[in-house]
Amino acid sequence: VQLQASGGGLVQAGGSLRLSCAASGRTFSSYAMGWFRQAPGKEREFVAAISWGGVTTSSYADSVKGRFTISRDNGKNTVYLEMNSLKPEDTAVYYCAQDAIIRRTGVPGTRQNMYASWGQGTLVTVSS
């Protein structure tokens, strides 16, 4: 599978951005999807994840809960990350990822080792 992330850019604190991740290859709707980010000098961390299927559940990092929303459009093979009330500490390269296991049961994973395919990343810079 190939994942292509887009939508990053420069935004002022308090602003909004919408990231997209288009997938090709495997049956998109049957895999949970996640967003992770890596800030300069820091390790990559979990941001949000959404379960497979049409009726979905989501998981969020505490740092973005209430500000970010993950969603998916299975008809377009795309997962989105709507980011509102952005803060300078949200500055990072954002990566989308696809679950390693088809139709995984339970809540969508928050650990990086649960994901097998990764996009190239898109840079989000939030100025103060």
Q: What is the pLDDT of residue 26?
A: 66
**Which parts of the chain have pLDDT scores under 70?**
26
What is the dihedral angle through the alpha carbons of 43, 62, 10, 41, rounded to the nearest 10 degrees?
A: -20
Phi, psi of 124 (to 5 degrees): -115, 125
Q: Which amino acid is at 7?
A: G
Distance of CA 102 to the CA centre of its chain: 18
**Rounded CA gap, 105 and 61, in Å?**
20
Tell me the torsion sign for CA atoms 59, 65, 70, 71: positive
Q: What is the pLDDT of residue 110?
A: 95
Q: What is the pLDDT of residue 54?
A: 85
